[in-house]
Each structure stands twice: as C-alpha cells, then as structure tokens.
Structure 1
Amino acid sequence: MGAPLSSWPWQNLGAYKYLLYGPIIAKVISSRPWEEESKEGRWCLHLMILFALRGLMYQLWYSFGNMLFLVRRRRIFKDGVDFKQIDQEWHWDNFLILQCMIGALACLIFPSLQSLPRWDLMGLLTALLLHVVFSEPVFYCLHRVLHRPHLFQNYHSLHHSSQVPQSFTAGFATPLEHLILCVVMGVPLLGACLVGRGSAGLIYGYVLLFDFLRCMGHSNVEIFPHGLFQSLPLLRYLIYTPTYHSLHRMEKKSNFCLFMPLFDLLGGTLDDKSWELQKEISSGKNEQVPDFVFLAHVVDVMSSLHVPFVFRSFSALPFCTKPHMLLLWPGAFVTMLIMWASSKTFLLSFYTLRGRLHQLWVVPRWGFHYFLPFATDGINDQIEQAILRADRLGVKVLSLAALNKNESLNGGGTLFVNKHPDLRVRVVHGNTLTAAVILNEIPLNVPEVFLTGATSKLSRAIALYLCRKRVRVLMLTLSTERFQKIQKEAPVECQEYLVQVTKYQAGQNCKTWIVGKWISLREQRCAPPGTHFHQFVVPPIISFRRDCTYGKLAAMRLPQDVQGLGMCEYTLERGIVHACHAGGVVHLLEGWTHHEVGAIDVDRIDVVWRAALKHGLTPV
C-alpha cells in the first residue's frame, strides 16, 4: 500500500473519471443558471467553464511547445517525448477534477461566493499582494520540504520522472502536491473575497494566469529574449523562465520558487548558471543538425490531425478516423490551404537511434495534390528545396516517403540527383527495403503470385526477384512493350516464369496477390477465398472481403534502443515505420555513400535486408 495521498482515488476509472463532473453538470442543468435568481447554479456553470478554459490553456501550450518548425532552436531539453512519458502523463488532468470539487465545496461553505460582481480592480491588487506575501514563500518552503528524501520518494519523484517537461507535466503530480497548490492558489482568491473585493473576473483571471505561468515554466521552450533581462535586471527576480525551471528539474537542488526567483535569492538556492544558460538557449544556439531526415507528406485532411502538436493522445496511437475529430475538419482544411500557400517544409517530430538524430519533415501537400497535373512542378520544387536545405545543414541521408518519390513525379528521386550532382546528402527512396519486406512476407513454397501495378519500379523488382526463385508471376498490365522490357532483364532461363495477363480474372486461382495499384471491391472479388493481399499502394486498399486477409503497408519495427519516439507513423503501431523510412535508416547506419534513386537494384535486395536485421530492425 502506498503512502497516503500519493495516488488518485479515481485512477482506476480511466475515462469514466469524467463522470465525477456529473453532479456539477446536473446542478447547472437543474438550477437554470440563466435565470437571475439561480446564483448557485451560476457558480457551478462558472466552474465548468473555467475547467474547459484551463484544459484549453494546457493544450495550447502543449501545441506551441511541439510546433518544432517554430521552436526547435529554443528547446531546452533536446530529447523528444517518448511513449512511456505520454502513457505516464495520460491522466494529467486529474487535478482539474480535484480543484473543481473543491470549488463546488467552497460554494457551500462560503455562500457569498455565489453573488460576486463581475469585476473589482482592488480585488486584483489584493490577490496580487497575498500571492507575493503568502503564496510564493509558502510554496517555496513546502517545495523544499518535498525534496527531503522520504517525501520526495513518496510524493514528488513522480513529477520529476518525466524526462522532457511539457505543459501536461505541470499537472502530472500526486494529490498531496495538488492540495498544496490548491492552498497556494486559493488563499489569494479567498482572501480577496473575504475582504469584500472578490469578483468573477478575478477568479477567472487569477486562475488562468496561474495556469499560464505553470505551463510556461514546463513548456521546454525558452520564450524570453535575454536582452529583456539585460535592459531590466530586476525583472529576472520577479518572473521565472522555462530555462530557470529546467535547472530545478535537472539538478533538484536549486530554483525552488513558484514564479518569482526572488525567493530563491533570499533562500540561497538560486543556481548561478540560470542567466547564462537562459542567454545561450534564447539566442537559438541549441539547434541540433539531424543525421537523417524522412520527408513525409499528408495523406488526407483527417490524417493531418495526427501530427504531434494537435493531440498527443491521438498521434501516440495508430491513426484512425474518430467521429469527434470531425469537428476539427474545417480548421484542418483552412490550415491545409495556409500551408499550401506558404510552400515550406515543416519539421514535425524527431527521435534518436544509436546516438544519431532522426527527424521527420513533411511537405505541405495532401495526397490528392499529387494527382493534380498542374501541381507537379510545385511539389517537386518543395521536395527540391527540402533536399537543398538538408544539404546545407549537413544532413547525411534524406529518405522520400511514398508519393514524394512517385515515378511519374520525379523518377523516384532521379530528377533531383541529376539536377544537383554535387549533393552531399544522400537521397534515398527506400524501395529496396520495401521490396525486401514484401518478398520476405511471401511463404517460401508459393508456386505462383498475382501482381497488379506490374510495371512500376517496385513491382518490377519483385517480379524479377521471384522469377529467379522459380516462382511464376502473373503480371497484370496492358502494356506488352513494358512487360517485355522487364522480361528481358530476367535471366534467360527464368523469363518463362514471367507471364503477362490483362484481366483480374487471371488471378482467380491464385491465393497470393501483391497489390501495387489500388483495386476496388469488384476487382478484389476475382481473388479466390483465402487469398492474402500483400500491398504497397498509397492509400492502402480497403478490406472489403471477410474471407480474405489483408497485409498492411510494408513496414519494420525500429530497434529497442530508439529514444524520444512518441508518434505513430500513420496507421502503424508504436515503434513501427514504413519500409521506405526504415530503408533510409539502414542507409545511414551502414554509412553507404551512394544515392538510392530510380530503378531498384535487384541484386541489393538481400544485402539491404540483411543489413536491416543486423541493425536490430525487425519485420512486423
């Protein structure tokens, strides 16, 4: 059994914990707060509105802190937030339930709270005075007490267990700590109310400002310019900074204040490095150059909401369309237009593997853009600019996601390599590993496969590889010329294993389909019961048939020592990336110096596969 007040009484309820708001919501509905005489109901309504605004405050700070394309140079802790921390902080908002209950209880104990005026300026000054003379010193003293070994182990170590602070980390603590914060935050409000200077505006303003400063300190982004403290030296003791708070998280022996470093100065616990570190980080010198970049793209409007800076509870799970997310569709659509107009590549997330920084950049183009003829030049321009930017930064390998390497778009990356022969960054389409993953999914004793999209570069490599293994490949294509060109690449003794077919009905007796071109329900019906559909088409085909099985897009699981990964890649499970992404990782780890663009070298399929396994990547 844990120490008293070290765990939340509703921690086992999961999402059902929100039912605890039921009595307050019922009170709001039953008491008709819109009527003048319903003062108690109006107070409960204010509590619920304040709860929503506070939750929004934490979410907005989280979104800002994870917009890496804006804040990457001012990040304090360089690591990314991993799945372990996300799961640990999943119920960060427990304290909002607690404080909402305390607010409802205060309404019963102090009925005068039900009839507060809208605003009182003197109340603001009273609360500010009480905050400085009571809240700040009391929090400072109690915070230092919580760092004593026994109390730290039982109560405060949980808050410090988050490796990379986020706004949600500010709410992640034990009930005892939040009861202390309730006192610290409540006394100035209650004091102002008891002297007759309370107001609804004071409660909203003070609570939201309190949350704002808490979120700011935990945001992991230095927002204050150092020149401000040079111009106003006294200011550095009146307001803390995210860097100032980070030193407390790192060393745990200094910088204990709530919001005012003045009390650390008076208590002798002010870290001497505070201002120099703040100057260094605010100057933007903390940016890391990645060794590897995966240049992704958005599939559709809904999937754009899966980016890390929207909802981490959404991006940390495999993508699927959720009904409540449809409410954000209009905003996502407008954002799409803005990003399209800006024509800039955005940094979305990063992780480290074997001590090397890997970043995910995204081209602001949605899937349907790639099929608009007039958009081709614009998309290629953005991909080219991303490659040149990576080259300037010193990136070693840049891997292209599915549609960014489309053969009809840029020849699988050949366009950029030919245009810029002096590139230091290696451009990789990753299709060699994609082919290897698909081929290693096919059982060894399969005598025949049915291949759609048969003349694409991936299908070509798969067909040539299988025919060498004496597997009969039914290649669906209407172009006899393209089929014959591929057939001639095969060894003479293997060419008979490549067979051109022109109708889907030709696969009606084959239970192994390899799908390289999107197929409809009608076309899927040509496959016999028990067929398994391997696929490498974007977007993936829809699983229409219950009597067949469907493979996911070719993917591999990253090694166990990956750090800072907290986002699922599209519909894939945690820690799994698409094979073209993994192909770029292998290219980097092997130190290969060639570009992997254009046609796939069939002779390298087994080489790349063995290299992937050697570095700890595993098939799904």
Structure 2
Amino acid sequence: MVASLSSWPWDNMGLYKYLLYGPFVANVIYSKDSWCLHILILCMLRGLVYQFWTMFGNWLFLVRRRRIIKDGVDFNQIDKEWDWDNFLILQAFMGALFCYLVPNISELPVWDLRGAPVVMMLHVLVSEPGFYLAHRYFHGSHHFFKNYHSHHHSSRVPMSFTAGYATPLEHLVMGVIISAPLLGSLLVGVGSIGMIYGYVLLFDSLSCMGHCNVEIFPYRIFEAFPTLRYLIYTPTYHTLHHTDKNSNFCLFMPLFDALGGTINGKSWELQKEVSSGKNDQAPDFVFLAHIVDMFHSMHAPIVFRSVASIPFFIQPFMFFLLPLGMTMMLLMWAWSKTFVLAFYNLRGKLHQIWLVPRHGFHYFLPFCTEGINKQIEMSILRANKMGVKVISLAALNKNEALNGGGTLFVNKHPDLKVRVVHGNTLTAAVILNEIPSDAKEVFLNGSTSKLGRAIALYLCRKKIRVMMLTLSAERFQKIQKEAPADCQHYLVQVTKYQAAQNCKNWIVGKWITPREQRWAPPGTHFHQFVVPPIIGFRRDCTYGKLAAMKLPEDVQGLGMCEYTLDRGVVHACHAGGVVHFLEGWNYHEVGAIDVEKIDVVWAAAMKHGLKPV
C-alpha cells in the first residue's frame, strides 16, 4: 500500500498540471487580486532560479574542475526529476492560505526594512532548527525514510532540480519552514511584498546552490574566517550528506550540525580539495561535435537538460527563445574556445563531448574555413596536452573540403600522441550493413565523396551494381581504377536521377530535393549520410536516419541525445572513435577510408557490444 502524501495527486497529468494555476489566473483577471498575481510571479521566478542554477551546474566548460561528484547525470535521474516543479503548485496553494491568516496581505507595502532583521532572526531561531530536527527524523525513522525521503536520495548526482524532487509530505514541511519567518514578520507588522520575494528567492537560491554539485566557495575564505564555515554551508558540505546519509543534516547553517554532533569529518578537507580545482580528471576519449542550426543550439544540457535528454525536434517555445539563442551564440564566438558539453563513462574510462561553437551554415562559408580549422586544431592540441587517447571528429568538423578529413592536422603536427579519428570507416560499415543481402544494384549520390567512394568500392567487390551519380568523368574513372579489374564494370557513371527510377536502394550522400526524390520508385528506402539529413517527402518510401549505433549497455552517466537520435544512440563517426579507443589502435584514421578495414571495424564494434540501429 502506498503511504499517504508520498506521491503527487497530479503526477499523471503531464503538462495539464499547470491548469491548476487556473484559479489564480482567474482571480487576477476577474477579481483584480494582487496577492494571486504575486503568487504567480513568485512561482515563475522560483522556477527560473532552479533553471538557472541547473544550467550553471551543466556549464562544464566553466565548472568541470570544481565538480564534486564527477559522474554525469543519466537519463534515469533526468526522468525521475522531470516533474521537479510539482512542489511549486503545492506551495502556491499554501501561499493562498496567507489571505486567511493575514487578511490585509494585499495592502502590504512594497518594502519595509524593519522586516529584514525580524525575518533573519526567525529564520535562525525557527526555520534552521525546525528543518534540522525534521530532517534528522526523516533519516532516523525507517518508515519515513523508506516511504518519503529515500526518493530524494535516489538521485545519484545531486543537481539543483534534485532540491525540488521530493514527496508532498516533505514539501509541506518545507513550506511551513519557509512560511514561519514571513508569517512572523507579517504578524508583528513589519512585513512587506519585497521581503516575501527576497526571502523566498534567497531560500531557493541557497537550496539550489547546495545541490548544484559545483563548489563555488574558495577555501581561503574559510581559512581567513573560520567561523564562517558554521554560518553558511557549501555545495561540498551538502553533497556529503547525499553520499553519507548520517551526517550534515542542516538547512543552510552547519552550526546546527555542530550542536547536534552530526558534522561529517571530511567536510572541510574535501571542500578545500574540490575548490582548489586540482581534482580534475582528464578524459580518455573526446568526441568533437558541432551545432547544426540555431534551434539545435538549444538542444544541449547547458540550456535545457530535459530538452537535451530527448531526440531533437523543433518545439514551439524555441521560437520565442531565438534571441536568447543568438545571444548565447555570440558569447560562444567571443569566447572562441571549444566547450565541454557532456561526458559519460564507458568501461571505467571517461568520455567527453566537446563542442566547436560554430553553426552548420558556417562550414559552407569560405571565409569561415580558417577560423573553424583553428578551433578544431586548438581542440586537438588541448586534448593532446591533457593526455586524451583518441579524439573523434563530428560530421562537418572532418569535412573533406575543410581539412581533408583531419589530414591537415595530422600532417601539421606529426608528433601528436592523441589519435585523430574521423570515424567514417564505421559509418561506411553501418550503411553497408543496412543494404539488403539480396540487393543487385544501388543508386549512390555524393558518390565521389570520401564515404561515397568507400561504399562504391566495397559494393562492387560484392558484385553489386553501383550507379554513381557524378558529372565528373575524371573523378569517376579515378575511383573505378581503384576497384579490382574484375569488378570495375559494376561501377557505372550516371548523370541524372532518372537513371535510378527502377532502383529501390538509394544511398544519399548529398542533399536531394523533393523533385529529385520523385524519381525513386515506390517502396524505395533512402539510406543516407548527408548532414543535415534529407526530409522525407514520399509517403510510399522509407527513410533511414543518419548512420548510428547504440552504445554498450554498461555506459554510465549519459543524459544527452545526439541530435535526432534516440537515447544511448550516437552517430557512427562517434561510435567509430569509441571503437578506435576501446581497441587501442595506435594509428590516425584520417583522409580516405581504407576499404580493407571496413569489415575489421564492424567486427570490433560488435565485439565491444555496440549495436546497429
């Protein structure tokens, strides 16, 4: 039997739960109730406080050296904390009760400085000890911990949203603790609207700070003022409570842990170690990603964790946030540095995803080439200095016209210890393994590209006729001569899409318009390796996604979807770098694809537990 007040009544309502704010909106519209308006504004501001602190905790390019728990936040935790804001609805209704307790609340002054010391005194004398005792009781009682507080502690890596992830009973208690100082100041006649806003938002900020998993306090402050460590807790102090559940129970003041004898002995030493930034861990593998477009720039944990945890699609709210996206883009350009976007653990090794702050269209502007290559080169040299074993380049970062598939950097820096990998060998293997075993012919556009060449040469060896769409007879003949003499006749040059009107296997390496897609016969399947992927206009045809593979089951800490791919699935070039690292291959995979290695790389991927999608 489920314990009472252990689950939210609106748990299954999804987005419809926000209709519960309807009575407040109705009161504002029809009754001109200013207090209901303040409740709505306060709920919105509280939500933004939690959102901004969570974003801050995910700005790994700024905070990775000061992270306390080094693991990433996985999909399981994100899903559990999805409705972290349930408590705001509950406490909004609790706020409505103030109308009955303080009848003239709508007539409060905007500000009354006399209320500040009263609220502060009541917080220290009522809220702090009240929370400490209640918190210890939730831990000391098997019934209350199992049915209530264990939910909060089930989050493996504390984040600011974790502060809101708790049961209704806990948030009822928290609501009383927040209300006590405010109600006290109102009853003695020194309350104000400004004091309510200030105290509640400060309370939320301190709660989020303690859960953010980033140590923001320099240890020298506590060395200079030792008493201060008992007056304000640190993120390290609170995170220790999540790892050792029998200590550090205080709200914001460790003084009460000192009085109760429940301070963790590691608190000050660990805080010094983390805040010094010396506890940073160099990754073993790096995937160097890029942004596809302005909307895609919002599909990252540094913006919205929940949005990044599901496959990318353009959501309506993104249109309203385009100015914010543009501002973020300009700031990233000004920084002119690769960002650490996310990380995960695989086979006990740290894998990181770095982001080149350039949008997809930049890669097709000639005057941007030098700047993009400079950023990629800086990333490779940085990885080399850190001791990274393998750095894998995402689709446009290894564009042939940009840097020869990474050849430019390897030739310029022959002493690189980090292995540069374009991952296209596995990309080719994934596409080739999608083609039906009974196929007799395929149509291939983008046929003279790096991937197109490898696919054509591989298929002709399998006695499959390949119609290679290209206007350049010279480039076609160059590829044809690479094929074994007895297989060259399986490669056929075509110059128009009409030539493929009877072929049901189209391999697309170059963008094709709806008009060009019309030449495919009904039942055609479009395999593709074009970035961005083509849009599926034909209802009588099927469209494959970009070549991708599912990571092994033992991956940990992954909480971000890669573009439009499902959870735990990465693009084949990313997976190719992972395989390169797991195999310990000591060569660069740049430039042209070695057709002889396609089957070798595929077999290695299967051996390590990667699965085709």
TM-score (norm 2): 0.99
Structure 2 letter corresponding to 1:315: A
* 1:557-613 C-alpha deviation (Å, 9 max, x unpaired): 011111000000001011100000000000000010010000000010000001001
What is the match of residue 104 of structure 1? 96
Within 2, Cα distance between the matches of 1:519 and 1:428?
28
Secondary structure of the residue that 2:47 maps to in structure 1? helix
Aligned partner of 1:63: which letter? Answer: M
Cα distance in 2 between the residues matched to 1:374 and 1:145 = 65
2: CA distance, partners of 1:541 / 1:299: 14
Report whether the alignment pairs 1:475 with 2:471.
no
Offset of residue 123 of structure 1 = 1.0
Within-5 A mapping of 1:216-295: 216-295=209-288
Partner of 1:352: 345
Q: Which runs of 5+ in 2 are unaligned?
A: none
Decide which of 115, 125, 137 is 1:133's aligned counterpart.
Answer: 125
| Residue in 2 that maps onto 1:29 | 29
**Is 1:386 paired with 2:379?**
yes
After superposition, give the CA deviation of every residue in 1:416-470 in whole Å (9 maximum; x if it has no partner). Answer: 1111111000000000000000000000000000000110010110000000000
Aligned-pair CA distance for 1:186: 0.7
CA RMSD of the aligned region, Å?
Answer: 0.8
**CA-to-partner distance for each residue in 1:346-401, whole Å, 9 max, x for gaps?**
10000001111110001111111011111111111110010000000000000000
Deviation per residue, 1:312-366 (Å, 9 max, x gap): 1211110001111111111211222232233210100000011111100011111
State the match for 1:208 in structure 2. 201
Deviation at 1:93, TM superposition (A): 0.5
Using the TM superposition, give the Cα deviation of residue 110 of structure 1 relative to its aligned residue in structure 2, in angstroms.
Answer: 2.4
Aligned to 1:36: none
Cα distance in structure 1, aligned partners of 2:265 and 2:344: 31
Deviates more, 1:62-71 or 1:524-533: 524-533
* Equivalent-residue separation in structure 2 for 1:487 and 1:459 (angstroms): 12
Q: Please state whether the residue corresponding to 1:121 is helix, strand or coil.
A: coil
Partner residue in 2 for 1:586: 579
Q: Is the 8 A contact 2:160 2:209 kept in 1?
A: yes
Deviation track 1:61-93 (CA, whole Å, cap 9, x = no partner) reads 001010000000000000000000000001101
Helix, strand or coil at the partner of 1:86? helix
Say whether 1:604 aligns with 2:597. Answer: yes
Aligned twin of 1:61: 53
**CA offset digits 1:500-559 (Å, max 9, x no partner):** 111111111101000011111111111111111100000111111111111000000011
Determine whether 1:80 maps to 2:81.
no
1:35 maps to what in 2?
Answer: none
| Matched residue, 2:297 | 304
The answer on whether the counterparts of 2:469 and 2:494 sit within 8 Å (CA) in structure 1 is yes
1:428 corresponds to 2:414: no
Q: Is contact 2:289–2:393 with CA below 8 Å preserved after alignment?
A: yes
> SS of the counterpart of 1:61?
helix
2:139 corresponds in structure 1 to 147
How many angstroms apart in 1 are the aligned matches of 2:127 and 2:330? 46
Indicate if the aligned counterparts of 2:288 and 2:356 stay in contact, CA closer than 8 A.
yes
Cα deviations by residue, 1:161-188 (Å, 9 ceiling, x for unpaired): 0000111000000111111111111110
Amino acid in structure 2 at the alignment position of 1:339: M
CA distance in 1, matches of 2:23, 2:144: 34
Q: Contact 2:448–2:476 (CA<8 Å) still a contact in 1?
A: yes
Query: What is the CA-CA distance between 1:122 and the residue it aligns to?
Result: 1.4
Q: Identify the match of residue 116 of structure 2 among 113, 119, 124.
A: 124
Find out whether 1:456 has 2:449 as its counterpart.
Answer: yes
Q: Which of these residues, 477, 481, 488, is aligned with residue 481 of structure 2?
A: 488
Q: Distance in 2 between matches of 1:601 and 1:121?
A: 74
Say whether 1:95 aligns with 2:105.
no
* Equivalent of residue 369 in structure 1, options 362, 383, 391: 362
CA distance in 2, matches of 1:566, 1:335: 22
CA contact (8 A) 2:102 2:186 kept: no
Q: Confirm whether residue 545 of structure 1 aligns to residue 552 of structure 2.
A: no
Post-superposition Cα deviations, 1:471-509, rounded to whole Å, max 9, x if no partner, equal: 000000111111111111111110110001111111111
Matched residue count: 612
Q: Percent identity?
A: 73
Q: Report the secondary structure of 1:73's partner residue.
A: helix
Aligned equivalents of 1:271 and 1:84: distance in 2?
29
Q: Measure, in 1, the Cα distance between the counterparts of 2:336 and 2:172.
A: 48
Q: Deviations over 1:96-118 (max 9, x none)?
A: 00000011122134212221111
Letter in 1 for 2:257: D
Aligned to 2:162: 169
Shift of 1:12: 1.7
For 1:257 and 1:594, locate their aligned partners in 2 and report how far apart those are by CA, in whole Å. 54
Q: 426-435 or 23-32, which moves further after superposition?
A: 23-32
Taking the aligned partners of 2:327 and 2:248, their CA distance within structure 1 comes to: 43
2:547 alignment counterpart = 554
Secondary structure of 1:139's match? helix
The one-character-per-residue Cα deviations of 1:185-242 (angstroms, maximum 9, x if unpaired) are: 1110001100111110110010001001000000000000001111111110000000
Aligned partner letter, 2:409: F
Q: CA deviation at 1:7?
A: 1.1
| 5+ residue gaps, structure 1 | 33-40
SS at match of 1:593: coil
Separation of aligned partners in 2, 1:518 and 1:180: 58
Partner of 2:4: 4
Give how far 1:272 is off.
1.4
CA distance in 2, matches of 1:278, 1:551: 50
Q: Distance in 1 between matches of 2:13 and 2:498?
A: 53
Structure 1 residue 138, shift from structure 2 partner: 1.1
Aligned-residue offset at 1:52: 0.4
What amino acid sits opposite 1:66 in the alignment? N
Per-residue CA deviation, residues 265-320 of structure 1 (Å, 9 max, x unaligned), is 01111111111000000000121110000001100011000011211121111000
CA distance in 1 between counterparts of 2:264 and 2:332 reads 42
**In the aligned structure 1, how far is the partner of 2:102 from the partner of 2:226?**
42
Q: TM-score, normalising length from structure 1?
A: 0.98
Match of 2:13 in 1: 13
Structure 2: which amino acid aligns with 1:15? L
CA distance in structure 2 between the aligned counterparts of 1:63 and 1:553, rounded to whole angstroms:
29
| Counterpart secondary structure, 1:365 | coil
User: In structure 2, how many angstroms separate the alpha carbons of the residues matched to 1:526 and 1:427?
Assistant: 39
What amino acid sits opposite 1:327 in the alignment?
F
Amino acid at match of 1:77: I
